[in-house]
Amino acid sequence: MQIEITHQPGNSAARVSLQAGETITAEGGAMIAMSGHIQVETTTHKRDKGSIMGALKRLVTGESLFLNHFTSNGGDGEVIFGTALTGDMMQFQMGSGPALMVQAGSYVASAPSVDMDMSWQGFGKALFSGESMFWIKLTGTGPVIINSFGAIYPIQVNGEYIVDTGHIVAFEESLNFEITKAGKSWMSSFLGGEGMVCKFIGQGTVWCQSHNAGSFGSALGPTLKPH
């Protein structure tokens, strides 16, 4: 399969070209358009594997409960994926490197040879991070498509680096992280609006998104119709 990411970083879409018989798996609702002869199968779990537990875990993670498997039967075909919010997309090739931890909600699609596992960091770390509490661990080989709110930029961590919690898209499992205060004092952290941030420790790559969906929501929200 070939994956082309278009219209970066603002309104990215992923055009996936499938050869006859190839399948790509995506979260529910990600498909924008596809060739006429693509077959869609919806499951609660990975094709061939998993169980209803897998589906429940995914619901808790913030991914839609169901996965769609798009197969091109009878010839080559194309599927185009997009997301609800404007933003960037990135394709990542899983291979011999460390597992990739992806923020819940950033997963878009992957080849069936990539394994998805819901793991959580333990309530201690998760509760304070303010993010949807769970991460998806990706292992195996093959391409993965991830999205973000904002432009995606990588940071090579060699020691320590701080990322505001709303700005983390994905990171390599080789990194450790802890939730900590942003400023020199608790007063600074809260008054300065940063609150808690995530400090990455060790060696590995963190992918950050330039913008924070929560900040945009808070700016836009008050101008909208109440419910």
Partner 1 sequence: MQSTIEGAPAFAYINVDLEPGETVIAESDAMSSMAADLDMVAKFNGGFFGGLAKAFLGGESLFVNHFTNNTSSTRRVSLVQGTPGNTRQIDLNGNTFCLQPGAYIASTPGVNLGVKWAGFKSWFAKEGLFKLTVSGQGSVWYGAYGGLLEKEVDGEYIVDTSHLVAYEPQMQLKIQLAGGLFSSLAGGEGFVTRIEGKGKIIIQTRSLSGLADWLNPRLW
Partner 2 sequence: MQITINRNGENHGPYPLEQVREMLANGSMQPNDLAHYEGAADWVPLHQVPGVTGDVSPPVLESTAPTPTATQESFTPTGEHEHEFRVECKPDFAYLTVQIPANQTLKVEASAMATMSTNMVMKTKMKGGLSRFLGGENLFINEFTAQGGPGEIGIAPGSPGDLEHYHLDGTKEILLQSSAYVGSSMGVEVDSKWQGFKGFFSGEGLFLLRCTGRGDLWFNTYGAIIEIPVDGNYVVDTGHVVAFTGGLQYGVESVGGLKSLFLSGEGLVCRFSGQGKVWIQTRHPTAFAQWTFPFRPTKNN
Which residue ranges make up the site for partner 1 (CB under 8 A)? 9-11, 86-88, 149-151, 153, 155, 159-164, 167, 182-184, 187-189, 191-194, 197, 199, 208-212, 215-216, 218-220, 223-225, 227
Provide, rounded to whole angstroms, the least separation between the CB of residue 146 and partner 2: 11
- In the complex with partner 2, the residue whose CB is nearer, 121 or 205, is 205
Q: Is 122 in the site for partner 2 (CB under 8 A)?
A: no
- Least Cα distance to 94 among 109, 79, 72 occurs for 109
Question: What's the token pair of residue 208?
Answer: 């950050």
Q: Is 226 in the site for partner 2 (CB under 8 A)?
A: yes
Q: What is the C-alpha to C-alpha distance for residues 162 and 180, in angstroms, rounded to an integer? A: 9
Q: What is the C-alpha to C-alpha distance for residues 164 and 143, in angstroms, rounded to an integer? A: 27
Q: What is the C-alpha to C-alpha distance for residues 46 and 54, in angstroms, rounded to an integer? A: 8
Q: Is 10 in the site for partner 2 (CB under 8 A)?
A: yes
Provide, rounded to whole angstroms, the least separation between the CB of residue 63 and partner 2: 10
- Least Cα distance to 136 among 90, 96, 179, 105 occurs for 105
**Residue 124: exposure state from Cβ atoms within 10 A (0-12, 13-18, ≥19):** exposed
- In the complex with partner 2, the residue whose CB is nearer, 73 or 188, is 73
Provide, rounded to whole angstroms, the least separation between the CB of residue 174 and partner 1: 17
The Cβ of residue 71 has, within 10 Å, a number of other Cβ atoms equal to: 20
Q: Is 153 in the site for partner 2 (CB under 8 A)?
A: yes
61 interface partner picked from partner 1, partner 2, none, CB below 5 to 8 A per type:
none
Q: Residues in contact with partner 2, total (CB under 8 A)?
A: 59
**Is-contact 77 37, C-beta < 8 A?**
yes
Sign, Cα dihedral of 180, 159, 169, 117 = negative
Provide, rounded to whole angstroms, the least separation between the CB of residue 21 and partner 1: 37
Q: What is the C-alpha to C-alpha distance for residues 197 and 179, in angstroms, rounded to an integer? A: 6
User: Which of 29, 74, 192, 202 forms a contact with partner 2 (CB under 8 A)?
Assistant: 29
Q: What is the C-alpha to C-alpha distance for residues 94 and 22, in angstroms, rounded to an integer? A: 18
139 interface partner picked from partner 1, partner 2, none, CB below 5 to 8 A per type:
none
Provide, rounded to whole angstroms, the least separation between the CB of residue 123 and partner 1: 25
Using CB under 8 A, list all residues that contact partner 2: 4-13, 27-42, 44, 64-66, 68, 80, 82-86, 88, 90-93, 97, 151-154, 156, 205, 213, 217-218, 220-222, 224-227
